[in-house]
Structure 1
Amino acid sequence: MNGPEIHLAFAPELHLFVAAERRGGRTALATDGSSTLGHVVESLGVPLTEAGQLLVDGSEVAVSHIPAAGESVEVRAVERPQRLPEGPLRFLLDVHLGTLARRLRLLGVDAAYFSEDIGDPALATYSSRDRRVLLSRDRGLLRRRELWAGAYIYSDRTDDQLRDVLSRFTPTLAPWTRCTACNGDLAPATKETVRDLLEGGTERSYDVFAQCTGCERVYWRGAHHTRLQTIVDDAVREFGGAGAQQSPQPS
């Protein structure tokens, strides 16, 4: 590009997205004179889902701003906690984030997830249709215009991913209320109503059950209770919620 030259600076949190030569401070960039500032930012590697305020000569502008010669641009990171339009906070996770989806559901957070790859266009359309925040480590997916909202998952470790999402969006936590398999709601169940779905040892050893109102999976406090309870306790202690009551769990 050989159009108007501007000077850009990216917040440190965004440095992982941009080339090394643009991580130090303000650097010069020749634009084409017609592309929006949002397009310029994305062309340099930063998904707009991760960009916060865009400042031109100290004043905030929209992503639709057309840069002019000599402008000084500052690209800030998205503010945390991030505020979204009013309505229920719901998530959609791509095929690579199944464990994170189950952790969110364990905490009572609405997290849709497909175990098979349905393709980027379908995910983006689902996000828009259901007004869900798409969580992904795929930068290209997060650049799709159809998205209602999205967020880049910075770590490949599930514990860090969970803390990142909870700190960024501060969803209301209601542990043990959602099916970790299908995302449906859990309801109390008696042993009599679920007896036909239990193995003999489970029927003899447990008396408290819950059942998914969607897929009808049965839950009880099984062998993995201590590990899952620790996940719940840690999240509630750090981010608040309805409390880590002693409830049935996946077994």
Structure 2
Amino acid sequence: MNGPEILIDFAPELGMFVPHERRNGPSKAVTDGASTLGHVVESLGVPLTEVGALMVDGAEVPASHIPAAGETVSVRAVPRPQPVPGAPLRFLLDVHLGTLARRLRLLGVDAAYESTDIGDPALAARSAAERRVLLSRDRGLLRRRELWAGAYVYSDGPDEQLRDVLGRFAPALHPWTRCTACNGSLRAASKEEVADLLEGGTRGTYDVFAQCVECDRVYWRGAHHDRLERIVAGALAEFAPGGQADAN
């Protein structure tokens, strides 16, 4: 870029995306006189999915604003909780976030997941077609213009990833209502209905079952239930009003 020079200041929450020299207050940036402010911000490393208000000389402007020489720009972080207008809150996770997808489903959150790498264009297109918030740690993917909405997942550990998404979007929690394998809805099932799908030991030990209406997978309170219960209880205590799941 070789054009108007501006001062740009990034919120501390966005520091991980920009070079060290831009993390401690306003710094100079040279634009080309034609690119939008949104393009300038992304060229400096910050996906627009992570940006809240863009302020120019104290007034909020859209990402389509063309910077002029001498302007002072403040780039704020996206608000938390972040509203997602115009559609039911649903997610799409890329191939690297399988554990997070299963935990969201455990909590009853609609979380589609691609278990194979279908490529960035296809993921972005699915986000737009199904109006899902794309969750990813791939900054390049989150810059694709086809996206309906997206969010960077800041941690590489499943526990913190879950807290990050729940804290950012505040989805309604309905534990034990979704299949962790395929994201379908669960229904109560009698032992007789699912007997042919059970091992002999399971049939003799357990009496309460649920079954996915999409893939027919059967669930019961097996050896891993205590660990899953801790995940659910922790999420409800921190993110559900009064520590309880929504009634609906």
| TM-score range relative to shorter protein | over 0.9
Task: Using the TM superposition, give the Cα deviation of residue 243 of structure 1 relative to its aligned residue in structure 2, in angstroms.
Answer: 7.1
In 1: Cα distance, 2:201 partner to 2:2 partner? 74
In 2: Cα distance, 1:83 partner to 1:36 partner? 24
Structure 2 counterpart of 1:173: 173
Following superposition, which runs of at least 4 residues in structure 1 exceed 6 angstroms of deviation? 241-245
Q: Secondary structure at the match of 1:33?
A: coil
Structure 2 counterpart of 1:68: 68
Structure 1 counterpart of 2:103: 103
In 2: Cα distance, 1:7 partner to 1:115 partner? 43
- CA gap of 1:101–1:242, structure 2 versus 1, over 3 A, is farther
Amino acid at match of 2:156: D
In 2: Cα distance, 1:237 partner to 1:243 partner? 4
Contact 2:13 2:77 in 1 (8 A): yes
Amino acid at match of 1:38: G
Contact 1:189 1:208 in 2 (8 A): yes
Task: Using the TM superposition, give the Cα deviation of residue 159 of structure 1 relative to its aligned residue in structure 2, in angstroms.
Answer: 0.3
Task: Using the TM superposition, give the Cα deviation of residue 84 of structure 1 relative to its aligned residue in structure 2, in angstroms.
Answer: 1.0
- CA gap of 1:123–1:50, structure 2 versus 1, over 3 A, is same
Kindly report which structure 2 residues correspond to 1:143-162, keeping only aligned pairs within 5 A, or say none. 143-162=143-162
State the TM-score, normalizing by the size of structure 2.
0.97
Structure 2 counterpart of 1:113: 113
- CA gap of 1:60–1:109, structure 2 versus 1, over 3 A, is same
Structure 1 counterpart of 2:123: 123
Structure 2 counterpart of 1:206: 206
- CA gap of 1:231–1:68, structure 2 versus 1, over 3 A, is same
Structure 2 counterpart of 1:141: 141
- CA gap of 1:208–1:222, structure 2 versus 1, over 3 A, is same
Q: Secondary structure at the match of 1:54?
A: strand
Over aligned residue pairs, what C-alpha RMSD do you find?
Answer: 1.2
Identity %: 73
In 1: Cα distance, 2:32 partner to 2:214 partner? 53
In 1: Cα distance, 2:33 partner to 2:109 partner? 44
- CA gap of 1:61–1:132, structure 2 versus 1, over 3 A, is same
Q: Secondary structure at the match of 2:49?
A: coil
In 1: Cα distance, 2:209 partner to 2:52 partner? 45
Task: Using the TM superposition, give the Cα deviation of residue 57 of structure 1 relative to its aligned residue in structure 2, in angstroms.
Answer: 0.0
In 2: Cα distance, 1:243 partner to 1:169 partner? 17
Kindly report which structure 2 residues correspond to 1:53-64, keeping only aligned pairs within 5 A, or say none. 53-64=53-64
Q: Secondary structure at the match of 1:53?
A: strand
Structure 1 counterpart of 2:48: 48
Task: Using the TM superposition, give the Cα deviation of residue 86 of structure 1 relative to its aligned residue in structure 2, in angstroms.
Answer: 3.0
Structure 2 counterpart of 1:9: 9
- CA gap of 1:231–1:241, structure 2 versus 1, over 3 A, is farther
Consecutive unaligned residues of structure 1, counting only runs of 5 or more, are 246-251
Structure 1 counterpart of 2:37: 37
Task: Using the TM superposition, give the Cα deviation of residue 29 of structure 1 relative to its aligned residue in structure 2, in angstroms.
Answer: 1.1
Contact 2:237 2:244 in 1 (8 A): no
- CA gap of 1:118–1:164, structure 2 versus 1, over 3 A, is same
Amino acid at match of 2:116: E
In 2: Cα distance, 1:23 partner to 1:229 partner? 40
- CA gap of 1:101–1:86, structure 2 versus 1, over 3 A, is same
Q: Secondary structure at the match of 1:34?
A: coil
Q: Secondary structure at the match of 1:49?
A: helix
In 2: Cα distance, 1:219 partner to 1:230 partner? 17
Task: Using the TM superposition, give the Cα deviation of residue 241 of structure 1 relative to its aligned residue in structure 2, in angstroms.
Answer: 6.5
Contact 1:232 1:244 in 2 (8 A): no
State the TM-score, normalizing by the size of structure 1.
0.96
In 2: Cα distance, 1:64 partner to 1:148 partner? 17
